[in-house]
Structure formats: structure tokens, C-alpha cells
Chain A
Amino acid sequence: MDFSLSKKHLMAQSLFRSFAENEVKPLAQEVDETEEFPKATVEKMAKSGFLGIPVPKEYGGQGCDPLTYVMCVEELAKVCGTTAVIVSAHTSLCIDPIMTYGTEEQKQKYVPDLASGRKLGAFGLTEPGAGTDAQGQQTKAVLDGDEWVLNGSKCFITNGKQADVYIIIAVTGIVEKRGRKMKEISAFIVEKGTPGFSFGTKEKKMGIRGSSTYELIFTDCRIPKENLLGQQGKGFNIAMHTLDGGRIGIAAQALGLAEGALETTIKYVKERKQFGRSIAQFQNTQFQLADMATKVEAAKMLVYRAAMAKATQKTYSVEAAMAKLYAAEVAMEVTTKAVQLHGGYGYIREYDVERMMRDAKITEIYEGTSEVQRMVISGNILK
């Protein structure tokens, strides 16, 4: 049991931190205000190798462990929730399933471009009628000769329209299971630009406003037979296992948001004076900050532990669920308190904390709501 970061990790962390401070932070407010996808930042991150951190070097990645990747998302989230989720969705939800389930041909074809950041990735599972109940898929894929024909739509897809490669979950048939009719669900790799694949609504969101959240539309979209990812009928397991990893990424994003809000608040309460002294000298401020710092530290341990579990264990659903659940709720609480400690200024968009509070809320919802995480955890406890 060792709680100190290795030299390598410390070096990586300081690299992420200086990138976040110099390249991301100055744009964070503008990205939020304009709701524009930070394309230039993504290109810079690609150059720095941030888009393939846990990918083996032979596939064009950095060959680092999951913890290094988690620290990257965390450092980005400290200054900009949007930038953090771009990296997380791309790495955890698109590259990871191809690396885990793809054939050698698929890996060779897609991963080097993704890991180098020449291409961006996304993941399409959610539909209007299938959110938490992911089995409620309506999108269909039918094999016609040597092509799959996709029909349906996906909603709330992070990196939508910006991404070039999409993991799409669809129904490929009906199977009998213990006398009950069940949908047979499979996973596919679909490239942007395929005829019949278009984009619908761009969602206007409360937070992570620069993140490109789109509806995907498939109208007789034909993809090659070999774009089936993993085995036919295993799509649901692929999606769930992919989300286990993605949850660690979101947990890191939540952790970063909480840390960023805490750091900003510590600086502010030392400067701000009322009643002739800094508000840091009031015991209420001190105790609030003590609670916030303790919770952030606890969340950090859970998030780092989940990252280590991904590196060393076959399954890490519970570790990921606990990390995401706790970090997201801490992020919501800490950012809300950060706004309070800033007083009226905290409610003004010129200050960063209100943005952090808006960004934090989504971490309790996407890649499985807090309620889903509780289902996963309790299901495991009560086995």
C-alpha cells in the first residue's frame, strides 16, 4: 500500500497542470459563453499526446497506465469541465472498447488515428426511450448481404458531430432467454461521413457548454459487415464494460471540478475582507473549507483506487461506481459551497465558480446516474 505518486506520475501531473493553466484556463470562460467546441485546444492536446494516454505505444499511444490518464482528465477539469469530458469520452468510450473487443484489423485501422488525435471518438448508446434502461434500444441493425443496415437515432452524444469514429449500440434481433423474448444487442464501429449517418439537434446545456452534444440519426446507413465490434449479441456487455471504464473518467472530471472550486475559493477567502479582516479568518469559512478539503481527498482516493483497479483487475465495476458516485456528489456539494463562500460575486459569470457548479451537476447524471451507481454497488453487496 503506497499512497505517494511515482516520479513518472508526478512528472505527468505537472505536465498536465501546466498545459491546463496555460492553454485551457484562459479559454474556459469563452468556451462556456460561446458554447463552441474548443477545436484548437483539442489539436494542441493531440500534439501533446493527451488523446491516447493509456493506449499501448505500438498503436500510437503513450503507453501509460489508467492512473496517468485519470490525472490528465482531473487536471483539465480543474480549469475547464468541457475540455476534460472531450478527452474522457474519446479515450474511455471509443478507444477502450476497440482496444478491448476489436479484432487486430479493427485496432490497426482505427486506434492509431484515434490515439494520436488525428481523429476523435464518441460513443452512441442512449436513445430518447433508452437512458438508464439501456435495454430499451430501438435502433436496429439488419445484415443485408455483407453490410449492416442501421436505422434509428441516438441522443445526447458527447463529441457528436466533432468525432470521426463512433461506437454504436443497436438491436440485431430477438432471442429467447429462459422463455422470455429479449433483444439481441450488438456493437458497431461507424465512421462519420457514411451515407445515411447524419446529425440532428445540438443540445443547449446547463453546463459543459462547449462539449458538443448531438443527436445521431441513422437512415438506411450501410456499414461493412466487418464493422461489428466483438461478437454479435454481446453489445450490451460491451456497452456496460465500456461504461465501467468511462465512469472512472467522469469520476476524475468530478474530482477535478471539486479541486478547482476548492483552490479558487481558498485563494478568494484570503483576499476578501469584511468586518476588517479576511473572511478566511471566520470560523465558518474555516470549517466549511475543512469539510470540503476532506471530502475532496476522500473522493481522490476512491478515483485513484478505481484507476489502479482498472490496471490490475479484470472487473472493476464496483470500484468505478463508488468513485463516480462519491466524486460526483462531492463535486456538486463543493462547487455549491464555493459559490456561497464567494458571496454575490460567486453568482457572477465573471468568476469561475458558478461555471464549475453548472458543470458539476452533469457528473451526477451522465455515464450512469448516481442512482445507477447505487444499483451497481448494492447489487454487488447483496449478491
Chain B
Amino acid sequence: MGLEEYKGVYIFAQQVDNKLSNIAFELLGKARDLAKDLDTDVTAVLIGCDVKGLADELAAYGADKVIVVDDPQLKEYRTEPYAHALSSVINKYKPEIMLVGATAIGRDLGPRVSARVATGLTADCTKLDIGDFPLTPVPGKEQKHNQLLMTRPAFGGNTIATIACPNHRPQMATVRPGVMQAIAKIPGAKAVVEEYNPGFEPNNNYVEIMDVVKSVVDTVDIMDAKILVSGGRGVGSPENFKILEDLAKAIGGEVSCSRAVVDAGWKPKDLQVGQTGKTVRPNVYFAIGISGAIQHVAGMEESDVIIAINKDDTAPIFEVADYGIVGDLNKIVPELTKQIIAAKEAKI
């Protein structure tokens, strides 16, 4: 059968405990753009048990159609029944594009499904476009149009690869959470809901779930944090670290510190960044009240974005900072926290 039979942009609408994950809305946002370029529609695949009620929410975020696979076997995520459900949907409905969130669930599910339906999968994409493949025409080779161009960082972010899947369908990608934008909620939107059950025969690949543990992590390895709010001596006192903690909480980051703070006994040594502490590479590093001696900078200069707040405009930290504010951290940090909270609430 021909590739042209495959139509539509599909997303896997991840839910946990019958609550849709944010990534589902982010994927819908991106899927809308792709569908517009291809002049087609957006379908969400909702897999679970008693999840039909979530369909309207998917419609509100841009799904034209929702395919619901509802079965007691699908109550909690397990590789086998979920892979069976999604690959059955693909085989029946023939989507042109199938997007899955690169969450722990999606990274497990995506490759299983792509192998079952014998197509290509690009993992952990950060950019998706519709375009030509090859990007520039190669003599003697057909240039295909309307291909999904999937871009992802490889080798630890040191190179960027753009990958296409010209000869197989669907074109599958897992997409990094937090990269795509959900659309503003459309109140009262309704989607076409179609129920489909491929039938579930438990086999020896079915995992038995013994226990689900939801842990609350209170000590965090700062080396794993994506956002670090780091304080130096300029914070002034251990009590004053509260304003940094508030900012970290608002922005979903962790608090770290400089050696001076550890020496003063304000914070434990395992939060220290620098030559004699830990080397960190978060996406965002706030250096607050940190002068930026090389002994500290050596431990954080690889951060993607460095934001410095310091009252001394000649502090060396500004040499490595992408963004800097000269001023009193006691005024700036709470204001920043306030604005971040406000911006987040506006989005919801």
C-alpha cells in the first residue's frame, strides 16, 4: 500500500492516574502547526481505563478528533498492552505523523510501537517542521515534499541532527517536554470521539505491577537540576536564602550556592558549585550575590544560560553572564518571583 494513504497528525495523549500530562497539550500545540502546513487535522490517541471524560479537555487544546482505547488492562502504564493499543490504532487509522512525548512513558512506548509498525522514530526532538527532503536537491535523487523534518540534539547536545523518514509511515517522533507550546485553551470545544478496542489478550510480556511509589524528593542532586538558583555571600544570611528558595520553587529549580556560603555554615557542602564543589550544567543558572571568582565560575560556566544579579557592576560574574542585573537582590529576586508566578498563572 502507498504512503499517500497515510493521513493526519496524531499525538499520543499521555495520562497518568486519569489526569492528562502537560506534554499532551504541548504536542497538540505543535500538531496544530504541522496539520496546518499539511492541510489536514489533528487526532489525539487517548489510552487508558475510564478515560473517555478527558476527551473534551484534549479538544479544548486543539484536538479535532480523539480516538479512545479504553480497557481495564490499560489502567496503569505497562509496555505491552499500551504498545499493542497504539500500534493497533496506527495500523487501523494510518496516520501520516505520530508524535509521542519523550517522557519516561513515551521513551518506553515510542520505540516498541515504531518497531511493531516497521517505521522510523526520532527520539527526543526539540524542533519539528514540514519541509523538503533532502533539504537541498541532490542530482539523481528525488526530492520529496511535505516531509516531517525532525531535529534533535545528539552527542550530549554537541551536535544537532535533522532527520527525516521519507520511505515509511507514520513518521514517528518522541518530543522533548517543555519545548513545544500549548495553545490557549478554547473553552467549550468538542472533538469527534471515536472508541476503538483492539482486544487485549494478556500474554507473558505483560508486566505485573507490584507497587507504585510516588516519592517526594527533598534532597536533590544539583548536578541533575535543569534550573539552579545559586546564592553567594551577597545573600547576607541563611534566613535570606528564603527569597532564593521562593524563586526556585516558582521556576521549578533547585537552590545551590558558592563556597563562601558553605564556609559560613549557611548551606551543606553538597550544594556547593565550583572547583572544590560540584560542576553543574543546568539550562539556566541564576548567580545571585555571587562575585564570580574563577573558582566558582569553573563549576558553572557550561550552563546554557547564566543570569547574574549583583550590586557591583564590576563583579567578574558579569563576564560570563548572558543576562545581568545590577542592583539589590533583596528587591530584584522577590519581584522576579512575583512576575514568574504571574506569568505562569496567565498561561494556565
Contact = CB atoms under 8 A, between A and B. Distances in A.
Interface in B33-89: none
A129 B294 contact: yes
B293 interface: yes
Given A138-B291, A217-B233, A129 B263 contact: no
Interface residues of A, number: 11
A35 to B, nearest CB: 16
Interface in B250-289: 259-260, 263-264
Contacts of A138: 291, 314-316
Interface string A108-140: 000000000000000000011100000000101
A318 B293 CA distance: 32
A129 B295 CA distance: 8
A201 interface: yes
Contacts, number: 28
A92 interface: no
A201 to B, nearest CB: 4
Contacts of A217: 233
A129 B260 contact: no
**Dominant secondary structure of chain A at its interface with chain B:** strand
B129 interface: no
Interface in B294-308: 294-295
A217 B293 CA distance: 14
Contact of B295 (A128, A140, A151, A200): A128
Task: Determine the interface band of chain B, counting residues with CB < 8 A from chain A.
Answer: 10 to 19
A277 to B, nearest CB: 49
B293 A129 contact: yes
Contact of A200 (B260, B312, B314): B260
Interface string A249-292: 00000000000000000000000000000000000000000000
A128 B263 contact: no
A151 B312 contact: yes
Given A138-B316, A151-B312, A200-B264, A128 B294 contact: yes
Contacts of B293: 127-129
B324 to A, nearest CB: 16
Nearest to B292: A129
A201 B263 contact: yes
B312 A201 contact: no
A127 B291 CA distance: 12
A200 B263 CA distance: 7
A200 B312 CA distance: 20
A182 to B, nearest CB: 14
Contacts of A153: 233, 260, 291
Nearest to A183: B314
Interface in B97-121: none
Contacts of B263: 200-201, 215
A127 B294 CA distance: 11
A151 to B, nearest CB: 7
A7 B295 CA distance: 51
Contacts of A127: 293
Interface string A140-173: 1000000000010100000000000000000000
Contacts of B312: 140, 151
Nearest to A151: B312
A153 B312 CA distance: 13
Nearest to A201: B263
Contacts of B264: 200
Nearest to B236: A219
Contacts of B233: 153, 200, 217
Interface in B140-183: none
Nearest to B291: A138
Contacts of B315: 138
A73 B293 CA distance: 34
Contacts of A201: 259-260, 263
A170 to B, nearest CB: 13
A264 to B, nearest CB: 34
A200 B259 CA distance: 10
A217 to B, nearest CB: 7
Nearest to A217: B233
Contacts of A151: 312
Contacts of A215: 260, 263
B102 to A, nearest CB: 41
A130 B30 CA distance: 51
Given A151-B312, A201-B259, 8 more contacts: A127-B293, A129-B294, A153-B260, A153-B291, A200-B260, A201-B263, A215-B263, A217-B233
Closest 7 CB pairs of A and B: A128-B293, A201-B263, A129-B293, A200-B263, A128-B295, A129-B316, A200-B260
5 contacts: A138-B291, A140-B314, A153-B233, A200-B264, A215-B263
